[in-house]
Amino acid sequence: MKALITGGNGFIGANFIIQNQHKFEQIVNLDNLSYAANLDLQSFLLKDCSYTFIKGSITDEDLVASIFEKFQFDCVINFAAESHVDRSIVSADLFVETNIVGVFILAKCALGFYEKSKNPKFRFLQVSTDEVYGALDGYEPASTELSALLPNNPYSATKASAEMLLRSFNRTFDLPTLTVNCSNNYGPLQNSEKFIPTLIKSALNDKPLPIYGSGLQIRDWLFVNDNCSAIMCVLENGAPGEKYNVGGTDQVTNIEITNRLCALLDEYKPKNIGTYADQILFVADRLGHDFRYDVDFAKIKFKLGWFPATSLDDGLRATISWYINAHQNQYSR
């Protein structure tokens, strides 16, 4: 299988390439190497991996079109996105440009390629988020693939818009699209601005651990390796035009996961005085902070046979170990 992977230097994209590189005959990675990019991705690749890196953005239509002219792809997997909610609240412009216009350009070029190649196995897979479904209250059932899209912040609104665009390309032009809506990912290679890396880095640097509002917001946590296996499962076995929720089995509050992290850090790198939990600091809640996300992943479980393999504690241990071992120099600054 020959793949165009966009955003392959990002958190999930890089983990996906590393984990599944042996399954592809050729990988072409288009990434603009933004602030969140993993610049050392190639050091994780096998020697026999046929890998081509192209620096650029999915918003550059001429570049995207030229890539489809040069290579023969069996699939497109789009990880490229602006993804930090706080940044979207401060300025949504780049989110609209990348997450909506960029997806439109990518789909437009993919459609032209698909119509010429007539490859019956061609797939366009969009990586989306559980945030498109909006907030749930404490007792509301988990969101299914049939739930309404009710985004509450600029980031999730742009991801929902991209989903609707791709749905239209499938229904109108028969582009064989697939969409995965994944819950909160965590694990190695995640940018330090995200919640769990922020907590780990702050804890090890003896800085406050910031918790928005009450800390009682609930998230469904999914280890990135499990998400990558789900994406590959959908790519290989999913039905064109369908979407699949990808979730974990651990719905916990932000303060609970913070306390779990602190307890594990007490094991890995005990402090001379006190515990890491002493550094917890409650701060003003952010704008548009949804209370709870949770997805029902019964569809991918029963139709495709996928199930998350990593418990929250095991995933947190692996994540802490990776950040300590791989970025020891960062935490000593």
Burial class (CB in 10 A: 0-12, 13-18, 19+), 197: buried
Burial class (CB in 10 A: 0-12, 13-18, 19+), 191: middle
Of residues 1, 21, 12, 130, the one with CA closest to residue 76 = 1
> CA 233, CA 146: separation in Å to the nearest integer?
20
Q: pTM for the whole thing?
A: 0.94
**3-class DSSP state of 105:** helix
Domain ranges of the chain: 2-185+224-247+291-309
- Give yes or no for residue 333 having a pLDDT over 50: no
- Give yes or no for residue 283 having a pLDDT over 80: yes
> CA 59, CA 319: separation in Å to the nearest integer?
32
Chain segment 252-281, per-residue pLDDT in tens: 999 999 999 999 999 999 999 999 999 999
Looking at residue 267, its pLDDT comes to 93
In the structure encoding, which two tokens stand for residue 162, read together? 């991209």
CA 51: distance to chain centroid?
A: 21
Give the angle 99-146-178 at the CA atoms, nearest 5°. Answer: 50
- What's the mean pLDDT when you consider all of the chain? 94
Highest-pLDDT range among 87-96, 105-114, 203-212: 105-114
Contact between residue 261 and residue 316 where contact means Cβ atoms under 8 Å apart: yes
Instruction: Calculate mean pLDDT across residues 56-85.
Output: 96
Contacts of 194 (CB under 8 A, 6+ apart): 11, 84, 186
Residue positions annotated with a catalytic role: 130-131, 155
The domain made up of 2-185+224-247+291-309 is a member of CATH 3.40.50.720: yes
